[in-house]
């Protein structure tokens, strides 16, 4: 093993430990944040007894869950029942490995550590656990694996509610995977790369992709909600119909693992939104963040953290605002609205990018982004105008009026006949 490889491995292990710790602690605190945000939106205080302002509540919950009895339903498939929480938990954590969370940090060292030998590293170290050249495809691939855990949990519990939850989860995640993947193609078209680092670099050079690719962002966010099984798309859990669906039969820490997986997925989707559409760790209006050094790295780390936190808040905000979709509405939205829009958008963006770069010959990334942004404003007005026109989706009162009209006509006919 060369000293360079050893240095690389050493740094990777350190980054892994740091990212893993932050994700796990963050997820624990997110459960508290969820309860606090929900409480505030309902004019309550939320948990405030354990520790200062309830900050130790997640620790108390964790201890409680570890000490609780583990139940196994009779007739459950013991092996799959045990493996399922891990299967949903591991993909959720794997995803955080490829998302760049700060500006590259120049690290130089050259030392010998007893029998382990010489460790060498020179030059900038990308602040991402694994800077995969196919990072983007990795995320798409692994995020689909999460459904195995949920489907298996539902199936192995030998419970009708759990099975229905698992079935719903698989149908929902597969449907929305399509719209999600489609919505990301314009990002690839514009950046010309599937590596997250390149996508972030492209956004630093031009504008954040939320401006030139607004509809992609819109579709991706909605599909992201559905992928993470969050309200308004939490049909796999559906407390009122399925008594929490696929984890009905789970107790103690295994139950907790599903929650950790859900929140880890939320963090990942929010990190994806941040990275793909909001510049990743980029600090806007300055080039200082790319100058290299410890301070820019820490600052960009903080900025990335704040951006992700904001999106996590939006996820919770929407959860405590909207009621759950009906199942047919969910499928209709995924297949009949989001997928056609995403497909049409790919075509429009293909032409638009070609026209801007080749026909008009705009080479400045900022100008090109602005041109596409102008197009997106037009498209956005068109799409939302059509959605809001009352032609495609009508208010619930419309059908009532129709019924009343029909009844009136019938009475009138009866009166004439009589």
Partner 1 sequence: MAIGVKVMKRPEKQVSYVRATLKGMVLTFKHMLEKKVTMQYPEQKSTDREHGLGTYSLSPRWRGTHRMLTDEQGRSKCVACGLCEFACPTDCITIVPGELEGAGIERYPEEFDIDMSRCMFCGLCEEACPEEAIVMSREVELTTYERSGLTFQKEQLLVPEKLLERRLQFLRSEYDRESAPARREEA
Which residues are near partner 1 by CB under 8 A? 37, 40-45, 317-318, 320-322, 333, 384, 387-388, 390, 393-398, 400-401
Strand partners, 124: 106
User: Smaller CB distance to partner 1: residue 64 or 399?
Assistant: 399
Provide the minimum distance between the beta carbon of 389 and partner 1 in the complex, in angstroms, as a whole number. Answer: 8
CB atoms within 10 A of CB 149: 25
User: Smaller CB distance to partner 1: residue 218 or 246?
Assistant: 218
Provide the minimum distance between the beta carbon of 384 and partner 1 in the complex, in angstroms, as a whole number. Answer: 6
Provide the minimum distance between the beta carbon of 98 and partner 1 in the complex, in angstroms, as a whole number. Answer: 31
Provide the minimum distance between the beta carbon of 374 and partner 1 in the complex, in angstroms, as a whole number. Answer: 21
User: Smaller CB distance to partner 1: residue 364 or 389?
Assistant: 389
Q: Which of 39, 203, 323 is nearest to 49 (CA)?
A: 39
Provide the minimum distance between the beta carbon of 333 and partner 1 in the complex, in angstroms, as a whole number. Answer: 8
User: Smaller CB distance to partner 1: residue 322 or 350?
Assistant: 322
User: Smaller CB distance to partner 1: residue 298 or 393?
Assistant: 393
**Residue tagged 């990942």 (tokens):** 268
User: Smaller CB distance to partner 1: residue 37 or 199?
Assistant: 37
Provide the minimum distance between the beta carbon of 391 and partner 1 in the complex, in angstroms, as a whole number. Answer: 10
Provide the minimum distance between the beta carbon of 313 and partner 1 in the complex, in angstroms, as a whole number. Answer: 10
User: Smaller CB distance to partner 1: residue 354 or 398?
Assistant: 398
- 3-class SS string, the chain: CCHHHHHHHHHHHHHHHHHHHHHHHHHHHHHHHHHHHHHHHCCCCCCCCCCHHHCCHHHHHHHHHHHCCCCCCCCCCHHHHHHHHHHHHHHHHHHHHCCCCEEEEECCEEEECHHHCEEEECCEEEECCCCCCCHHHHHHHHHHHHHHHHHHHHHHCCCHHHHHHHHHHHHHHHHHHHHHHHHHHHHHHHHCCCCHHHHHHHHHHCCCCCCCCHHHHHHHHHHHHHHCCCCCCCCCCCHHHHCCHHHCCCCHHHHHHHHHHHHHHHHHHHHHHHHHHCCCCCCCCCCHHHCCCHHHHHHHHHHHHHHHHHHHHHHHHHHCCCCCCCHHHHHHHHHHHHHHHHHHHHHHHHHHHHHHHHHCCCCCHHHHHHHHHHHHHHHHHHHHHHHHCCCCCCCHHHHHHHHHHHHHHHHHHHHHHC
Provide the minimum distance between the beta carbon of 345 and partner 1 in the complex, in angstroms, as a whole number. Answer: 16
Provide the minimum distance between the beta carbon of 42 and partner 1 in the complex, in angstroms, as a whole number. Answer: 7
User: Smaller CB distance to partner 1: residue 105 or 383?
Assistant: 383
- Distance between CA atoms of residues 102 and 236, nearest Å: 35
User: Smaller CB distance to partner 1: residue 72 or 320?
Assistant: 320
- Distance between CA atoms of residues 262 and 315, nearest Å: 12
């Amino acid at each position: 093993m060369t000293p360079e490889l050893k240095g690389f491995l050493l740094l990777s292990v350190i980054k892994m430990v740091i990212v893993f710790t932050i994700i796990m602690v963050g997820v624990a605190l997110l459960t508290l944040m969820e309860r606090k945000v929900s409480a505030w939106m309902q004019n309550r205080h939320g948990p405030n007894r354990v520790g200062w302002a309830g900050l130790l509540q997640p620790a108390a919950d964790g201890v409680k869950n570890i000490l609780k009895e583990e139940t196994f339903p009779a007739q459950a498939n013991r092996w799959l029942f045990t493996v399922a929480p891990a299967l949903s938990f591991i993909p959720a954590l794997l995803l955080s490995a490829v998302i760049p969370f700060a500006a590259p940090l120049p690290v130089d060292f050259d030392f010998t550590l007893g029998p382990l030998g010489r460790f060498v590293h020179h030059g900038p170290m990308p602040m991402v656990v694994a800077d995969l050249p196919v990072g983007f495809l990795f995320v798409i691939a692994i995020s689909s694996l999460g459904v195995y855990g949920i489907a298996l949990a539902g199936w192995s519990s030998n419970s009708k509610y759990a099975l229905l939850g698992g079935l719903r989860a698989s149908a929902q995640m597969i449907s929305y995977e399509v719209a999600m993947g489609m919505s990301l193609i314009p990002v690839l078209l514009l950046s010309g790369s599937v590596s997250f680092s390149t996508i972030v670099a492209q956004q630093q050079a031009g504008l954040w992709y939320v401006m030139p690719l607004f509809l992609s962002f819109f579709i991706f966010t909605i599909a992201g909600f559905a992928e993470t099984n969050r309200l308004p798309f939490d049909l796999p859990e559906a407390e009122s119909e399925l008594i929490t669906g696929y984890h009905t039969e789970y107790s103690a820490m295994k139950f907790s693992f599903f929650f950790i997986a859900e929140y880890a997925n939320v963090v990942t989707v929010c990190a994806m939104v941040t990275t793909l559409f909001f510049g990743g760790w980029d600090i806007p209006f300055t080039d200082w963040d790319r100058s290299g050094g410890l301070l820019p790295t820490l600052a960009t780390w903080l900025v990335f953290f704040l951006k992700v936190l904001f999106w996590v808040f939006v996820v919770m905000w929407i959860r405590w605002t909207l009621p759950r979709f009906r199942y047919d509405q969910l499928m209709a939205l995924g297949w009949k609205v989001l997928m056609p829009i995403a497909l049409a958008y790919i075509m429009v963006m293909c032409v638009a990018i070609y026209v801007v770069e080749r026909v008009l010959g705009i080479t400045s990334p900022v100008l090109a982004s602005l041109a596409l942004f102008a197009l997106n404003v037009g498209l956005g007005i068109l799409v939302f105008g059509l959605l809001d026109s009352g032609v495609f989706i009508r208010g619930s009162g419309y059908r009532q009026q129709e019924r009343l009209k029909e009844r009136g006509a019938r009475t009138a006919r009866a009166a004439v006949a009589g």
